[in-house]
Amino acid sequence: MLKRILHPFQDVLLQRKLCVGCTFPLDKANRIGILTKNSDLVECKCKRRYVFDRKLGQYRRASLQEEQQYLKNLKK
Ligand SMILES: [Zn+2]
């Protein structure tokens, strides 16, 4: 029951481009790297990572796979 309430709330925060953990504006968060041609990886000051979709102009939580993909790219 609690999860049903929490998840839409996180979506609302992301739609407003705010971190779901600390509500810091993600537009001011640290852009740590390019993930794909159309998306950037962003790290909030609370260390949560997000993917910014440049086509949609929206943020979403980065998956573990995406974080690993980014780290792999760093080593090249
Ligand atoms: Zn945060």
Mean pLDDT in runs of 10 for the chain (76 residues)? 70 95 96 92 96 96 90 78
Q: How far is CA 7 from CA 2, 17, 20, 71, 75, in A?
A: 9, 15, 10, 27, 34
**pLDDT attached to residue 37:** 92
| Ligand 1 centroid from CA 25, angstroms | 8
| Ligand 1 centroid from CA 37, angstroms | 24
**pLDDT attached to residue 7:** 73
Domain spans, the chain:
2-75
**pLDDT attached to residue 9:** 87
| Residues measured by CB to lie within 5 Å of ligand 1, the ion | 19, 21-22, 24, 44, 46, 48
pTM of the model: 0.82
